Amino acid sequence: NLSIHSFSMPKLNDNKINNWKILIENWDIKESTSLIDSHLKHIVIQNSSSNLITNVDRRAILFSTILCLCKGLSNDKWKFKEKIWLRKFNINDKIIIPDHEHVFEIQCDEKNYILAARSEQDKLQWLCLLMYIRNKSILQRELYNILVNEDAQQVLLTPDPSRYKFCAPNLSTNILIDYHTNDKSSSSSSSSFIIRGATIEKLIEHLTHHQLLHPRFVKSFLMTYKSYCTPLELLNLLIERYNIPEPASAYLYTEQQLKKFRKEYVQPVKLRVLNVIRQWVDKYFSDLVESNDNVLDQLQTFLQSIPDTGGLYQFKTSILKLIDKQTIDYQDSSKKNQQQDLISDERDQIDDLDVFLV
């Protein structure tokens, strides 16, 4: 009646690895470092063949996918003896060997290993460890499937439209849109869309949608946005889109629902807002600089207000660096243009003088 329900394998520390390399002869730590995933157990066990001819002590070191048996030498020294890969194996704890107690058998790669622990408690510990290793991948897959199913059954929360205008339902009065699915896979979700007409709020919503992604739409929008809004208006809308409020009456929802909301709605929207801003800075930097509303200063203030934690911080930092680079390039370009204008003016003056002298 073994149970691994609450059993966990502790991590291995680097100091122990170094000690093995010193104390165990022929120990190749490079071969097992990548396999160390959880726990090792130090016990002296007996290794008996089926004809009971040999009966020797072994030091057993257990990893997540490997069992190493070491032979004892003098002065607390050990010599690496055998390596047992625990990929596909069975455990037999009912085996009976005369004159031996606490015996169990590991069956793997068409070879059996009969081992004897020092006590019944040691045997149970070994069996729990081996059962954990054997069933770990199966249990992880089962747990993953359970979590996926539970997550799929939960409805994704969204902010209240009265507090967040980018969550207003799609109506014929605010958007005309065609969705297209991938013909190669009927099970795939909507992956593209064409907007025939929309309010500016709906354009911003789909520009930074948490599920739908359309890179060409972002390029087209940035190319044409000045025909229906100013750079300052666009920046304010993007900042509003970024600052997502919690769902109404958030205390009524479970922690799992709120976690899903932050992971599948808040995080994607914020990342896509920053992505739009980055493309804006990269491709249309002059719109920000030449605006009379100090748009660039307001953009930098907004970016600096983003907390210095998580993936958003890296995105924010890259945009600020891009702004610095674009500013230098813009200033250099402006100086060159001014110099060319001066040269052109001087040439015009010379031409005028020549005409006057003639």
pLDDT of residue 268: 95
pLDDT of residue 36: 42
Residues 325, 332: contact at Cβ < 8 Å? no
Query: What is the signed CA dihedral for 282, 287, 292, 296, rounded to 10 degrees?
Result: -10
List, run by run, the mean pLDDT of 10-residue segments along the chain (358 residues).
Answer: 49 58 75 43 46 69 82 81 84 81 83 83 86 83 81 82 93 88 46 84 94 87 94 97 88 84 94 96 94 93 90 92 94 72 55 48
Give the C-alpha separation, 345 to 350, whole Å: 9
pLDDT of residue 261: 92
pLDDT of residue 171: 92
Dihedrals phi, psi of 284, to nearest 5 degrees: -135, 45
- What domains are defined for the chain? 14-150 (2.30.29.30), 165-344 (1.20.870.10)
pLDDT of residue 12: 53
pTM for the model stands at 0.57
HSE toward the beta carbon, residue 48, CA cutoff 13 A: 20
pLDDT of residue 300: 96
pLDDT of residue 347: 56
